[in-house]
Each structure stands twice: as C-alpha cells, then as structure tokens.
Amino acid sequence: MNHTASQAKPNVVAIIPARYASSRLPGKALLKINGKEMILWVVEIAINASNVQRVIVATDDVRILKCVENAGHEAVMTAGNHPSGTDRLAEVVATLDDADVIVNVQGDEPLISPATIELAVDEILNADEAQIVTTCERITDWADVLNPDVVKVVIDEGGRALYFSRSPVPYPRDAVKKHGSLEIALSRDANLVGSFRKHTGLYVYRRGFLLEYTSWPQSELERLESLEQLRALERGVTIKVIETDTPSIGVDTIEDLERVREILGTRC
C-alpha cells in the first residue's frame, strides 16, 4: 500500500477583533507604543507564528481599518453591534470556507509571544477531544488573585478547564483559617499565590465549533460572571488550557499602556 500521500496541512487563520470604543481606554487599538499603533504590534506577532497562514483584523471602525491596511496588512469591517469579540470573530469566520482552525488573538495584548500562539494551535491539532484551546499563566502578584478584572482558571490533571471565575478559585480554606483572611494569607505566602492561574485571552477554535458556539444563547453562569467561555463549559465542551511562561499584559488602562511601553522599549 502506498503511504506517500500526505494529509493536507490544516489552514489556520488568526483573527484579531479590534473595536474603537473602550470604556476605560477609548481608541486603545490606535494608541502608539514606541511609535507604532498597538494593533500593528499584535498583527506582526500573529504573522510571526509559524503555524498561522493568514492574519485578519476584524474591526467596526474605519480608522482601525485604514491603519492596518496602510501598514500592508489585511482588515475587514464588521457590524458595530456585536455583544462580544467572539461574535465579531464569527461574522468573519462565516465567510472563510477554507479555514480549519481559527485563532482569536486579542488586539490589546501586544506582549503575547508568537510561540504561545504556536503552542495553542499545535494543541488543538493534536488533541482530538478539544473544541477550544486557551492559555493561562502563573499568578505572581497576590493582588491579582483578589482583582475581579483578572480571571482565574482551575484546571484538571489532564489540562482541561474545570472553571473560570473572577473570584479567587480555588479557595484556600486552610490557609485562610490559619492567617485570618485571604488577603493576609496571600500577602504572606508566595507559594500560595503561585497556586493560582490567570486566564489569558488567546483562544483557538475548530471553525465549525466556533460558528455553533456563537449561535448558543448566553448561559446563566456566563451572565453571572460575565465570562463567555462559561457558555461552553456549561454545555460540556472540552477546553484545553496551555500554561505559558511568557507573561502577557492586556492593555485596559493608561497604567497598563505605560507598563507595556516600558517593556517593549527595552526590547527595541
């Protein structure tokens, strides 16, 4: 029997949802970091991921569209009333009949590593059970454990997500009893802090699943926590979680922006 014919390479498309409006930092996609708009930093990172064949920015604002296109990259206009970045993603994905795997790269994470994208893509290509692959990193600052803007994830021994929450999960009952409060326990015990994982905003989906997922109504836990990935967990979907050792920072405030400017300034 002839085994020389190789299986077609999966077509992996990275889509970067980028809207102009932001409650805490309006127009952040176009804010400059060392002379270059933030969205362009993210586009170039995605392009440098070796297993991504195409990168598209999905936006609702012509200023972002023109910025990306003027830099020689691909961008498309989407509807302005999408409730989430994933829904914006799905509008574009519905037109990509030849795509097999979709990478959702957040437009406000200019520190994400191409290697992180590559790991997440490889995981979904090799893990038949997973419909979603996402990423996390170890928490090092105890204040992040208590911060509801930092989403925590609990993972089982097989690397599957058990739950995502804005609350400190898992709750360290014995440590709290010993120290009198969670805040004191965290401030005194670096090992305890390191037991928490921060969910970071990279997602990889199988194309067919993404289109199905965005057709589902919001779930109760999703509404309570304001975390759309809980919609998938509540329906029994397997989400694999990759832990990375290259920390990223989501730019939501001017303080975040200044931190990123400082970090990227040292790399230039």
Domain regions of the chain by residue span: 12-247
pLDDT in tens, 151-170: 999 999 999 999 999 999 99
Measured CA to CA, the distance from residue 197 to residue 103 in angstroms comes to 21
Pick the CATH number of 12-247 from 3.90.550.10, 3.30.428.10, 3.30.420.10, 3.40.50.150: 3.90.550.10
DSSP string of the chain? ----PPPPPP-EEEEEEE-S--SSSTTGGG-EETTEEHHHHHHHHHHT-TT--EEEEEES-HHHHHHHHHTT-EEEE--S--SSHHHHHHHHHTT-TT-SEEEE--TT-TT--HHHHHHHHHHHHH-TT-SEEEEEEE---HHHHH-TTS-EEEE-TTSBEEEEESS-SS--HHHHHHHSSHHHHHHH-HHHHTT-EEEEEEEEEEHHHHHHHTTSPPPHHHHHHT-THHHHHHTT--EEEEE-SS------SHHHHHHHHHHHHHH-
Q: What is the pLDDT of residue 3?
A: 44
Q: What is the pLDDT of residue 153?
A: 98
pLDDT in tens, 114-133: 999 999 999 999 988 899 99
* Beta-strand relationship, 12-18 and 54-59: parallel
pLDDT in tens, 35-84: 999 999 999 999 999 999 999 999 999 999 999 999 999 999 998 888 88
Residue 237 confidence (pLDDT) above 50: yes
Residue 6 confidence (pLDDT) above 60: no
**Chain-centroid distance, C-alpha 13:** 15
Q: What is the pLDDT of residue 63?
A: 96
Cβ proximity of 211 and 101 under 8 Å = no
Residue 7 confidence (pLDDT) above 90: no
Q: What is the pLDDT of residue 148?
A: 93
Residue 105 confidence (pLDDT) above 90: yes
For the entire predicted model, the pTM comes to 0.91
Q: What is the pLDDT of residue 184?
A: 97
Which tokens in the block code for residue 5? 């014919």
Residue 2 confidence (pLDDT) above 50: no
Q: What is the pLDDT of residue 267?
A: 65
List, in order, residues 6 or more apart from 72 with CB less than 8 Å away.
Answer: none
Q: What is the pLDDT of residue 4?
A: 42
Residue 245 confidence (pLDDT) above 70: yes
Percent of the chain residues topping a pLDDT of 70: 97
Residue 268 confidence (pLDDT) above 60: no
pLDDT in tens, 187-212: 999 999 999 999 998 999 999 999 99
pLDDT in tens, 12-45: 999 999 988 877 788 999 999 999 999 999 999 9
Which of these ranges, 3-7, 99-103, 256-260, has the smallest mean pLDDT?
A: 3-7
Cβ proximity of 109 and 216 under 8 Å = no
